[in-house]
A and B are shown apart, each in its own frame.
Chain A
Amino acid sequence: MGLRAAVALGRLADTLEALNVARARTEGWSWEQIAEALGVSRQAVHKKYAGRLPMTNPKET
């Protein structure tokens, strides 16, 4: 039961992260800036999010 809660919390955290990354992008954040805020590499963030949802930075289009 505790494991299920752990998995569910992880999914919720992913949701929170995805929403915030998408917003950061629309506000003009670069992948580098987002990666730094998340404490991961630029490659990791890009790989995870670049193909998903509208994650466009208006400055880069």
Chain B
Amino acid sequence: MFERFTKTARETVVRAQAEARTLRDPRIGTEHLLLALLDDRASTAYRVLSGLGLRAEDVRDAVRRGEAGLVRQRDAEALRSIGIDVDAVLARLTETFGEDAVRAVLREQGTPRRSPSRHIPFSQAARDAMGSAVREAIRLGDKHIDDGHILAGVLSSGGAARGLVQAQGVSAEQVRTALERAWRKSA
């Protein structure tokens, strides 16, 4: 798949893994892809996002604080389907044990003991995002998949990145519109 990626896009994926590793996350999620996209100031994605007022430092802070998904979104949905309100449970746990303790446990939980050089797998949402990126490039008739397509894929998938962007007051639709404009300009 990565043969059809531009150099920038490939570097984005590599940086996303580095982000996940730095943050000690067991999976490369859409939030790490988002951070990686914001790292390259020459990229379409960076220009679009910063043009809409998104600040990389704010997103990084949010990811570090664990807002990226205290409980994985799919977990929350699955639990809701059997009548468990995860938000309510987390609120009670936070009340009882404090925010730091809860975050520390959630962050650390499910992190398998692995050597630092081991390859970190993608989360399902991140895999969906990459798939969407490829389909986006095909839809637009582009020969290569670039960081703009990755951004589109990231925001249309079910991962944490969408919420992180929205928390900065930017909607996925705004990003979409700005991306379309950028694509038309370079077409």
Interface of chain A, main secondary structure: helix
Interface size class of A (residues with CB under 8 A): 10 to 19
| Candidates A8, A18, A23, A53; contact of B78 at CB < 8 Å | A8
Q: Is A37 an interface position by the 8 A CB rule?
A: no
Q: Which residue of A lies closest to B86 (CB)?
A: A12
Number of residues in B with C-beta < 8 Å to the partner?
Answer: 23
The answer for the CA separation of A53 and B81 in the assembled complex, in Å, is 31
Set of chain A residues within 8 Å of B62, measured between Cβ atoms: none
Question: Would A12 and B79 be within 8 Å (CB), given that A18-B109, A23-B97 are in contact?
Answer: yes
Interface of chain B, main secondary structure: helix
The answer for the CA separation of A34 and B84 in the assembled complex, in Å, is 27
Set of chain B residues within 8 Å of A5, measured between Cβ atoms: 78-79, 81-82
11 of the cross-chain contacts (CB-CB < 8 Å) are: A1-B81, A2-B82, A8-B76, A9-B79, A12-B75, A12-B84, A12-B86, A12-B89, A18-B105, A19-B105, A22-B105
